[in-house]
Amino acid sequence: MPPRIVESYLARMADRSNSRLVLLPDFDHDCCWVEAWPDLLAR
C-alpha cells in the first residue's frame, strides 16, 4: 500500500496513540512477512 494512503487514513483518526506507520522497503503482499512478523510486533 502506498504510504500516502496510510498517512491520509492516519491523519483522519481522532486518536493515533496506538498507531504508527512503519515503512519497509522491498516488502510486498507476498515477500518477507512471515520472517519479519515477530520483530515488527516487538517494535
* pLDDT at residue 40, rounded to an integer: 86
The pLDDT, as a whole number, for residue 30 is 85
CB contact burial 14-37 (16+ within 10 A = b; e otherwise): eeeeeeeeeeeeeeeeeeeeeeee
Per-residue pLDDT band at 5 (split at 50, 70, 90): very high
Per-residue pLDDT tens over the stretch 21-33:
888 888 888 888 8
Confidence (pLDDT) at 23 = 86
- Model pLDDT for residues 7-18, shown as the tens digit of each residue: 999 999 999 998
Q: Write out the three cell numbers for 43.
A: 517494535
For the whole model, what pTM was predicted? 0.58
Angle at 17 between CA 14 and CA 20, to 5 degrees: 105
Would you list the domain boundaries of the chain? 3-42
